[in-house]
Structure 1
Amino acid sequence: MAVKTNFSSNNFKNILSNYNLGELVYSNPITKGTVQTNFFIKTTTNKLVFRYYENRTTESVLFEINLINYLQEKKYPCPTPLCNNYGHFIGIYNDKPYVVFSFIEGEHIDNPTNNQKKQLIEKVAELHNITKGYKSDLTQYRLNYNVEQCEKLAQESAEKINTLNSQEKLKWYRYQLNQLVLPSSLPKGICHCDFHISNILYHHDEFKALIDFDDANYTFLTFDLMCMLEPFKTTFDWDTWDKFSLEDDVFDFSNAKTVVLEYSKCRPLNESEKIHLFDLLKFGILIDCIWYFERGDVKDFFEKRKIDYLDNLGRENFYKKLFG
């Protein structure tokens, strides 16, 4: 990620004057990530990460900080936000919030080993055990993944694009939301919602920390599990989908079965969660569709094709593939 807001040495010296973290030695932009601006900072006494929130309200950032502090109390491996001299975790620069975190030694692994993948799955299940039922007073300030929120975002996207194709896609989108079966009894809590390699740290082959809770929100706990399933073949993707016909077999459940098995060792799924993983997978596809609403013709596009394949397979067969 190109840094969206530049900070000079003087800027950081002024910011650090509000903390007891030593004097600035140097700072470097962190290029991994896609939304917020991040810098590595070395002081005379500390290694730090400075995170500048380009598009989040102070309330949304406070939700994140309160969540991370809660996870820290539970000994969950995640970044530590640092207080300034006034007892606040959040500072303001040019009307936007920022937070200073302690630096965690570790590496981002492009191709994790099977052992590293298992550790991540275990830590995700552990996260859900901790956050099941967790509800913050600031939840309303996050983009919480639910059907109502998705319909609202899709409508906003359609209106912004303002084409016949976008209006027709909105009709399709609403129909698909109505087909989802997501009982209110499904367990909810906080999901991380972004397992990009830049958000996972390993050190000496061991899981070190889950970082960047910028997308974390209150939703179905199995949403994170759905994100890790990957039941589609790797050859079927956003830039290759149109090379496949509806009669082709695009599924490979070997990885998905492994993920569910490892996850269930730490957090067993109830029967309702198992049955409705099918719906959560479709729900996740519909969320992706929001971010790429302008992409593709309503008659046939990547997200539509994925849902068509799942509908052809059916909920019962999907269940059998994973748990049979």
Structure 2
Amino acid sequence: MAVKTNFSSKNFKDILSNYNLGELVYSNPITKGTVQTNFLIKTTTNKLVFRYYENRTTESVLFEINLLNYLQEKKYPCPTPLCNNDGHFIGIYNNKPYVLFHFIEGEHIENPTTKQKKQLIRKVAEFHNLTKGYKSDLTQYRLNYNVEQCERLAQESAEKINTLNSQEKLKWYIHQLKQLVLPSSLPKGICHSDFHFSNVLFQNDEFKALIDFDDANYTFLTFDLVCMIEPFKSTFDWDTWEKFSLEDDVFDFSNAKKVVLEYSQYRPLNESEKIHLFDLLKFGILIDCIWYFERGNVDDFFEKRKIDYLNNLGRENFTKELFG
């Protein structure tokens, strides 16, 4: 699924002719990933990753490259984009942008240990310390997570599906957005927004790098935090939720508490962030709802059920469970 555009050896030889990175030895598609096309390239002098952006504008890719260069300057472990002979990081092939990166040795851990989880949480907190207030003239070209953007995307999804169910779900969705309390004073910066195990590299049991900044955008810093906490029981999921009734207790805050405690050691949350973590969790669920807008009947579906459980619990009880 990862390779949507095929590249021949001749294609890569032509591309490499614009760089001082040696001659092509071989190229292999990278199967992990679902959106962009990636190849591992071995040259006579280097090991590289070729990333072909299937659905991103050049400006959006440049936002990512500038962010990575900024993080590199701060010694943060992340991919290193490479310049071509003209001093540009981005090349164009068939009217779509591509970038070459140094290959990072490491492995993806599908079931990380407690130590590895703590390392990731620490690196996420450090990432936020670096990107808090990070400014880019290209921010507008990213899919930034905010209420206005979510409403627009939900409207587009409803119109595309064009059913009575989608229109009713849109009404529910907009109502839920309006219930969120997200003060403008909440700290914002760049969030990575995708901590799937395939985007984290470990080597010899140590954190090596955070990769794939394709979803990175300017939003509330605690958005990444709510992506890592999971207050719902593991048995309650998208394919099991119908087995539960609204009266069932579906919460298990033990892991969420550990994540928040570990994160706070490196980036302490202010009182406003603690109070409105409840709203950010609901916000994250509503973003998930956009990607699966066609799934489920408006009367009862997975994301709605999660929102209902949280509303029944309430912000005050949620905050007490997390912070005591």
* Equivalent position SS for 2:228: helix
* Equivalent position SS for 1:27: strand
1:271 alignment partner in structure 2: 271
Measure, in 2, the Cα distance between the counterparts of 1:293 and 1:110.
27
2:182 alignment partner in structure 1: 182
Measure, in 2, the Cα distance between the counterparts of 1:230 and 1:17.
47
Map 1:150-165 to 2 at 5 A: 150-165=150-165
Shift of 1:135: 1.5
Measure, in 2, the Cα distance between the counterparts of 1:2 and 1:145.
25
Distance 1:2 1:65, change over 3 A: closer
1:17-66 alpha-carbon deviations (Å, 9 max, x no partner)? 00000000000000111100000000000000000000000000000000
Measure, in 2, the Cα distance between the counterparts of 1:269 and 1:199.
25
Measure, in 2, the Cα distance between the counterparts of 1:298 and 1:3.
35
Query: What is the percent sequence identity of the aligned residues?
Result: 89
Measure, in 2, the Cα distance between the counterparts of 1:168 and 1:203.
48
Cα RMSD over matched residues?
A: 0.4
Map 1:116-155 to 2 at 5 A: 116-155=116-155
Measure, in 1, the Cα distance between the counterparts of 2:267 and 2:135.
19
Shift of 1:2: 3.7
Map 1:200-239 to 2 at 5 A: 200-239=200-239
2:195 alignment partner in structure 1: 195
Query: Would the aligned equivalents of 2:2 and 2:35 in 1 still touch at CA under 8 Å?
Result: no
Shift of 1:171: 0.2
| Structure 2 residue identity aligned to 1:71 | L
Measure, in 2, the Cα distance between the counterparts of 1:255 and 1:135.
33
Query: Would the aligned equivalents of 2:2 and 2:38 in 1 still touch at CA under 8 Å?
Result: no
1:105-160 alpha-carbon deviations (Å, 9 max, x no partner)? 00000100000000000000000000000020000000000000000000000000
Measure, in 2, the Cα distance between the counterparts of 1:255 and 1:88.
44
Measure, in 1, the Cα distance between the counterparts of 2:250 and 2:12.
50
2:241 alignment partner in structure 1: 241
Does 2:280 align with 1:280? yes
1:276-309 alpha-carbon deviations (Å, 9 max, x no partner)? 0000000000000000000000000000000000
Map 1:44-55 to 2 at 5 A: 44-55=44-55
Measure, in 1, the Cα distance between the counterparts of 2:243 and 2:30.
37
Measure, in 2, the Cα distance between the counterparts of 1:258 and 1:75.
27
Query: Would the aligned equivalents of 2:47 and 2:102 in 1 still touch at CA under 8 Å?
Result: yes
2:18 alignment partner in structure 1: 18
1:295 alignment partner in structure 2: 295
Runs of 4+ aligned residues of structure 1 deviating over 2 Å after TM superposition are: none
1:182-202 alpha-carbon deviations (Å, 9 max, x no partner)? 000000000000001110000
Measure, in 2, the Cα distance between the counterparts of 1:171 and 1:123.
38
TM-score (norm 1): 1.00
* Equivalent position SS for 2:265: helix
Does 2:229 align with 1:253? no
| Structure 1 residue identity aligned to 2:305 | R
| Structure 2 residue identity aligned to 1:60 | S
TM-score (norm 2): 1.00
